[in-house]
């Protein structure tokens, strides 16, 4: 690439999945699109890689399950992505009786009712659970289609929901109140609450409704709320998008960071490591705080509660560990909840608020290789090797980022091991696979690690706190939620309205903001 570059129609900063989705839609419409990516590969947080040197296992390094990616985007772009439902939704040991646990089957109401009744001794609990998720299913079917349409108002969303009891409980009252009035069992309550805390440091009873918002995004995916395993790992999502984009003529420049941006009337000039580029429109697949830096605007201070709040751990096992309650294969087939009863979650939150790392981390784990062994080489499969992914909650960024903080990645590792061992019938250390040098296959990522490796301020996997999926201001109604104060600059990452997760929705919406608003694409975006 020369120092002097020709003008392009659209420049996209960042080749994560949202940037790739946007590029595909724009290129299909006939626009000349160039993506600039600082890393030496596409994918952002949705990648698969051999994390452990010399070990042929391609793990989903950061994001790991698919729910929010609309089927319509897959169809529009010709994606051939295969996702597989897990046979078990979740498994949760009983904190009061660690030798027993609750299995929540997937897509089998009669088996689910029987499992809950056996666990709690009360059929009423099973009925309450089914009724609760029948309500979220109603909401999902109404809300999810709106995510790829122009923003509607709060009142319009309320009318769309069409059930005042549902609106009051899930949108107006703190989620903790709704859980407590709907469900009596502590373990059942905790399973629900975990979906409100993924990457979100929130009080279940907070008036800010942060828990409600996070919960909503975790139960509406494709109108079902299912979280499925991508065959081949998360890299298949971005790998396919990469191939489709290149096939449409998109130019992707890797190892090319962008350091500044200067909007003017009708165009934007950006400074890359390989020279200046002028584009008619620029899409930024990065956090709003990064956009501010590129524009040379005053750096936005991110309040501490708004930062990341998770530890992400990747492991490779010689074999599945024995658990204290039930069958290992069944327990690891779904989401395995550790120290995530309702009371345990509330206690851990209070400890973290006080500035300490919870002694037993609330965490959830899952085994990709039980559902999809293709990420392992045939040799590893023959050896009985398995992957294990752990996602810890209530570990806010400030615990690791403060100058006076006593916590390090090594402390996080010790806490994770202790948490795992609290529910196992043997030491997890005895089950960890070793690479050729004898090093155990365990990678621990704190929010600081995510910040440094992915360029996401405070390690917030959503870029900014999630917000409700409607227009926050009246002048946003009818817009796409990707617009900035600069007419030629758009957000297309998780920090856009209705962003978060591996969804492609911000990328879709940014592309359609351009296509419908700038060149008269025909207003088809509302149907896509």
Q: What pLDDT sits at residue 232?
A: 97
Q: What pLDDT sits at residue 5?
A: 56
Q: What pLDDT sits at residue 394?
A: 97
pLDDT tens digits along 263-305: 998 899 999 999 999 999 999 999 999 999 999 998 767 666 6
Is the pLDDT assigned to residue 3 strictly greater than 70?
A: no
Q: What is the DSSP letter of 75?
A: H
Is the pLDDT assigned to residue 526 strictly greater than 60?
A: no
Token output for 211: 């828990």
Query: Rounded to 5 degrees, what are φ and ψ at 259?
Result: -110, -20
Is the pLDDT assigned to residue 172 strictly greater than 60?
A: yes
Query: Would you state the torsion angle of the CA atoms of residues 518, 520, 525, 528, taken in this order, to the nearest 10 degrees?
Result: -130
Q: Is 366 exposed, middle or buried (0-12, 13-18, 19+ CB in 10 A)?
A: buried
Q: Which residues contact 164 (CB under 8 A, 6 or more apart)?
A: none
Mean pLDDT of 176-187: 98
Q: Would you list the domain boundaries of the chain?
A: 8-46+66-81+231-302+463-527
pLDDT band, residue 402 (cuts 50/70/90)? confident
Is the pLDDT assigned to residue 102 strictly greater than 80?
A: yes
CATH topology of domain 8-46+66-81+231-302+463-527: FAD/NAD(P)-binding domain (3.50.50)
Q: What is the DSSP letter of 66?
A: B
Write out 365-388 in H/E/C secondary structure.
Answer: EECHHHHCHHHECHHHHHHCCEEE
**What is the percentage of the chain residues whose pLDDT exceeds 70?**
95
Q: Give the DSSP per-residue string, 112-164.
A: HHHHHHHHHS-HHHHHHHHHHHHHHHHHHHHHGGGGGS----HHHHHHHH--H
pTM: 0.95
Nearest to 392 by CA among 369, 423, 415: 415
Ordered strands of the 386-392 beta sheet? 101-105, 88-93, 335-338, 363-366, 386-392, 311-317, 442-445
Is the pLDDT assigned to residue 312 strictly greater than 70?
A: yes
Q: What pLDDT sits at residue 519?
A: 43
Q: What pLDDT sits at residue 306?
A: 83
Token output for 256: 């090319």
Token output for 258: 């962008």
Nearest to 138 by CA among 227, 228, 216: 216
**What is the percentage of the chain residues whose pLDDT exceeds 90?**
91
Round to whole Å and give the CA distance between 439 and 452.
23
Query: Residues 368, 387: contact at Cβ < 8 Å?
Result: yes
- Tell how far CA 11 is from the center of its chain: 25
Upper half-sphere CA count for residue 287 (Cβ side, 13 Å): 26
pLDDT band, residue 523 (cuts 50/70/90)? very low
Q: What pLDDT sits at residue 304?
A: 62
| Length of the chain as a residue count | 528
Mean pLDDT of 30-51: 97
pLDDT tens digits along 442-495: 999 999 999 999 999 999 999 999 999 999 999 999 999 999 999 999 999 999
Q: Give the DSSP per-residue string, 247-292.
A: HTT-EEE-S--EEEEEEETTEEEEEETTEEEEEEEEEE-S-HHHHH
Is the pLDDT assigned to residue 249 strictly greater than 90?
A: yes
């Amino acid at each position: 690439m020369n120092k002097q570059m020709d003008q392009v129609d659209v420049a996209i900063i960042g080749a994560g999945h949202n940037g790739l989705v946007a590029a595909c839609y724009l290129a299909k419409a006939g626009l000349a699109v160039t993506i600039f990516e600082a890393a030496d590969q596409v994918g952002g947080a949705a990648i698969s890689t051999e994390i452990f040197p010399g070990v042929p296992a391609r793990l989903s390094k950061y994001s790991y399950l698919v729910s929010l990616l609309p089927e319509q985007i897959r169809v529009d772009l010709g994606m051939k992505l295969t996702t597989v439902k897990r046979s078990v939704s979740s498994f949760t040991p009983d904190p009061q009786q660690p030798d027993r646990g609750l299995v929540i089957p997937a897509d089998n109401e009669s088996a689910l009712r029987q499992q809950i009744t056996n666990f709690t001794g009360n059929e009423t609990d099973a009925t309450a659970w089914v009724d609760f998720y029948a309500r979220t299913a109603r909401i999902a079917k109404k809300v999810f289609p709106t995510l790829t349409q122009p923003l509607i108002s709060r009142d319009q969303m309320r009318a769309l929901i069409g059930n005042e009891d549902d609106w009051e409980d899930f949108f107006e009252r703190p989620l903790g109140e709704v859980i407590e009035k709907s469900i009596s069992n502590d373990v059942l309550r905790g399973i629900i609450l975990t979906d409100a805390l993924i990457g979100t440091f929130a009080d279940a009873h907070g008036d800010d409704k942060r828990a409600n918002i996070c919960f909503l995004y975790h139960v509406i995916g494709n109108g079902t709320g299912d979280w499925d395993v991508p065959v081949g790992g998360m890299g298949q999502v971005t790998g396919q998008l990469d191939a489709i984009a290149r096939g449409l003529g998109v130019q992707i420049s890797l190892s090319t960071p962008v350091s500044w941006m200067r909007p003017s009337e009708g165009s934007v000039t950006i400074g890359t490591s390989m020279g200046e580029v002028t584009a008619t429109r620029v899409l930024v697949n990065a956090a709003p705080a990064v956009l501010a830096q590129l524009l040379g605007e005053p750096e936005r201070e991110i309040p501490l509660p708004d930062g990341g709040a998770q530890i992400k751990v990747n492991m490779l096992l010689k074999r599945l560990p024995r658990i204290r309650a039930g069958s290992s294969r069944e327990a690891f087939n779904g989401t395995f909840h550790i120290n995530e009863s309702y009371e345990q979650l509330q206690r851990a939150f209070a400890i973290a608020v006080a500035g300490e790392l919870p002694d037993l981390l609330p965490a959830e784990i899952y085994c990709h290789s039980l559902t999809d062994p293709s990420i392992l080489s045939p040799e590893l499969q023959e050896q009985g090797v398995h992957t294990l992914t752990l996602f810890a909650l209530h570990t806010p960024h400030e615990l690791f980022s403060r100058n006076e903080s006593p916590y390090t990645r090594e402390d996080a590792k010790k806490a994770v091991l202790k948490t795992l061992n609290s529910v196992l019938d043997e030491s997890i250390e005895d089950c960890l696979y070793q690479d050729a040098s004898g090093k155990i296959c365990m990678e621990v990522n704190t929010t600081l690690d995510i910040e440094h490796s992915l360029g996401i301020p405070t390690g917030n996997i959503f870029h900014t706190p999630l917000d409700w999926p409607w227009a926050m201001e009246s002048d946003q109604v009818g817009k796409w939620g990707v617009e900035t104060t600069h007419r030629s600059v758009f957000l297309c990452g998780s920090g856009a309205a209705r962003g978060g997760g591996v969804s492609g929705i911000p990328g879709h919406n940014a592309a359609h903001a351009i296509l419908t608003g700038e060149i008269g694409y025909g207003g088809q975006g509302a149907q896509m």
